[in-house]
Chains A and B, each alone.
Chain A
């Protein structure tokens, strides 16, 4: 399953943005603060639309801890709850839509029970209507191509999630951010080892650490690597590059037929390792039928993707680069197909 297009309205700094013709590998580039990470977050919310907890998680990825329901305004354009969030996308011709809106406090008594009717002289003391609306959470209204509507809610103050029990999510999606994606996920790693892809993974990791000859899972789920010393080393004490590649490959095998979102692909990777990393990612995505949508600031990263892809599939057109930019009030995704990226890289023309 893969996204063909994405439409985002009113989410974080994005008033409106459409991304068309998404392919297997999609690289989002652009200036700082142009909204690349917000796009990944929006796609993550859309992919997991039946899980309202994600509305909190996406803030944790940014080290933003939501402490009350008003903090949900971080998601809304101009931090204004009146700008409702609409995110939609097409997956294999079928549309899924998510609308996020605030839940306002309903009229109730201080003790939570219904108030008594006010009569007589006391009416004079209550003859006003408050215009301050208190937000008690957010509502996530979503629908898929079959047009059935579902509704979830999340309320921080009340510590409550209200879920649609009759919706079954079929899309697998995972989000790797620059910080958490350096921690190797043991469960995913175990899955990867079970797939008998070990020799290929070791070959890829040799591009980062030439001395590596073996990977083993310890009894407590820890991952160890053999780098030719007299004992195995826990992978967590190895460099960022090795952990990053391992984590990306493990996530791809875990997301079979799904979508993997990666914020800042090149994090932890030296430019000389990028080509070997992309080659491994391209083959893994082909094998597990995974779509990748990732961000980057690095010209080397774009070049490594383009060159790896051209070597593996010279006539193919399964990679895209989108330069995200502001076009007046709205955002715009300038699209580069495989050949255009290749030409830009060959002629050293700025595409970021």
Chain B
């Protein structure tokens, strides 16, 4: 049985499988290596996953810990929630606790930072960031029209549940040849321009944290 364990000195906790693949492509694109991206399987599992990995034997070799999660409706709340988890886990095994997003702190041989998607403020997610980088492409007008067209047919309940940013990304990826199935698949197929200004904040964070 292959056990999941810490195998690198640099760890990046992300909230889902898609983010896990995405940031694997992202950090390699930035020319960084030796970073293990760990899928926390949802924001609700950050605490459990962090405690499991932080208590493991291999964690003693870790030098850098990064966290990237979505702001969802509010970046401030998302950061506060993650900060609380880091603080509680620090009672088990010491972790430096940042005071604000993107702050990288080093203490007792450990470097730690938190980034809230898309840009450490407001609402949104990884998809919001990617949308920023494609919204000026001609094809995005078609995506806009498509979204506006079918959302007119929604009931109030459907409008409530609709996840617009995810839908926009799926629609955009459907215009690519070959089609990409997910945001991570899009990264693998190089459909996201990581040099775009929209990625500059996350680019700066990942580079500063892991360099």
Residues of A whose CB lies within 8 Å of any CB of B are: 30-31, 299, 323, 325, 334-336, 339-340, 343-344, 347-352
- Cβ–Cβ contact A349 & B57, under 8 A: no
Q: Given contacts A334-B92, A352-B57, are A339 and B48 in contact (CB under 8 A)?
A: yes
- Cβ–Cβ contact A349 & B92, under 8 A: no
Q: Tell me whether B55 is interfacial, beta carbon within 8 Å.
A: yes
Which stretch (B1-9, B70-78, B142-150, B200-208) binds chain A?
B1-9
Question: Given B1, B5, B55, B58, which contacts A334 in the complex, CB threshold below 8 Å?
Answer: B55
User: Which residue of the partner chain B has the closest CB to A334?
Assistant: B55
Interface string of B56-93 (1 = CB under 8 A from A): 11101000000000000000000000000000000011
Q: Which of B5, B45, B58 has the most CB atoms of chain A within a 10 A radius of its CB? A: B5
Cα–Cα distance between A31 and B45 once the two chains are bound (Å): 27
- Cβ–Cβ contact A349 & B53, under 8 A: yes
- Cβ–Cβ contact B3 & A299, under 8 A: yes
Tally B residues with Cβ within 8 Å of A: 19
Across the A-B interface, give the 4 residue pairs with the lowest CB-CB distance, nearest first.
Answer: A334-B55, A350-B5, A350-B3, A349-B4
Cα–Cα distance between A325 and B60 once the two chains are bound (Å): 10
What is the predominant secondary structure among interface residues of chain A facing chain B?
A: mixed
Q: How many A-B pairs fall under 8 Å by CB? A: 50
Distance to closest chain A CB from B178 (angstroms): 32
CB under 8 Å from chain A, chain B span 1-55: 1-5, 41, 45, 48-49, 51-53, 55
Distance to closest chain A CB from B98 (angstroms): 23
User: Which residue of the partner chain A has the closest CB to B45?
Assistant: A343
Question: Given A31, A344, A347, A348, which contacts B57 in the complex, CB threshold below 8 Å?
Answer: A31
Q: Given contacts A339-B48, A340-B51, are A351 and B4 in contact (CB under 8 A)?
A: no
Cα–Cα distance between A352 and B92 once the two chains are bound (Å): 16
- Cβ–Cβ contact B57 & A323, under 8 A: yes
- Cβ–Cβ contact A349 & B56, under 8 A: yes
B residues within 8 A CB of A349? 3-5, 49, 52-53, 56
